[in-house]
Chains A and B, each alone.
Chain A
Amino acid sequence: MSAAELHNNEMIHGYLNDLRRYLSRLAPHETQEVIREIESHLFDVLDQQAANGQAADVAEILRGFGDARQLAALYVAHIEEGAPPPRGFRAIQSVKKSVTASLYFAMAVFGFSMAFGLLFIAGAKFLLPESVGVWSTPHGDSIVVGFVSVPPMATPEVMGWWIVPVATLLAVGVAWLTRKVLLVLKQHM
């Protein structure tokens, strides 16, 4: 290879490397496709110039392609126009997805344990009727709901056996609501 050919090859590879760098927003296989096509064009023109006995003028051919950064910008323009993102952008989507997944499971755990807890209270009333109930403090500034080992002294229990159907209904309601929310979340996963 002559010194002139070596110089031409260096110019071409320098240009293609610049272009490759500026095309980094495209998927790797798309970048490779662009580089391959332009490389094929450049060497085709050089071959034709040689076949016609012309001196190879790489600078002139590269001028037709323009500045590597501007050429790359034309290839990348569709990304700014809202076309589907190239493969490299999947990472962002999967981060979003895993957030939704953890939200989904947190919602499931929270909702179903609430429902289970209410059912447990309803069932426990039969086993330990004295320890399960709703107590209101005498001045009405706080209430105690649920399952206690020592019932609060001097406070009347307000619900009696009504706690069984009320807690059961609430449990069913919470479970149903949780399921509805999970269905909506699932559509966005």
Chain B
Amino acid sequence: MNSTEALMEKWEVQLRKGTLELAILAALQQRTLYGLELLKLLQSLPSTTITEGTLYPLLDRLKRDELVDAQWVQEGETRPRKYYQLTPLGNKKLTDLTRLWRQSVSDIEWLLANPGPQPLPNTGV
């Protein structure tokens, strides 16, 4: 692997780490999922792929912070599964993180859409 690829991967890891909590809260938006379902959902998207070893301790932390709650459910013959859903606090956190995320995306999009050399209209840079 050359150094550019290594840097790219490092950046991707950082980005994924930073957005992981938002990704999990968003995945549980108006939805009740157990660990394996949630893992498969996140692994089905290229930028939210995570491992079991990251997901479960993070769910445990979200539960301690009362952003999600969980119940064991057994349906018919299947083995019991622990289902997660957002708490009202989790919903609020999701709203707050969503606002930050959208702001960040739109700011960066704006910068990308306004290259030099012409001066920018509002800052004079």
A residues at B contact (CB < 8 Å): 34, 36-38, 40-41, 43-45, 61, 64-66, 70-71, 74-75, 77-78, 83
Contact = CB atoms under 8 A, between A and B. Distances in A.
Contacts of B35: 37, 40-41
B53 A75 contact: no
Contacts of B80: 36, 40
B53 A66 contact: yes
Contact of A64 (B52, B57, B79): B52
Interface size bracket, B side: 10 to 19
A74 B64 CA distance: 13
B11 interface: no
A44 B79 contact: yes
A93 to B, nearest CB: 20
Interface of B: 35-36, 51-54, 56-57, 60-61, 64, 79-82
A41 B82 CA distance: 9
Contact of A40 (B54, B57, B60, B81): B81
Given A44-B36, A45-B36, A37 B51 contact: no
A40 B81 CA distance: 7
A37 B38 CA distance: 13
B61 A78 contact: yes
A41 B36 contact: yes
Contacts of B82: 36-37, 40
Nearest to A34: B60
Given A41-B36, A44-B36, A64-B52, A75 B60 contact: yes
5 contacts: A36-B80, A44-B36, A44-B81, A71-B56, A78-B61
B53 A70 contact: yes
Contacts of B81: 40, 44
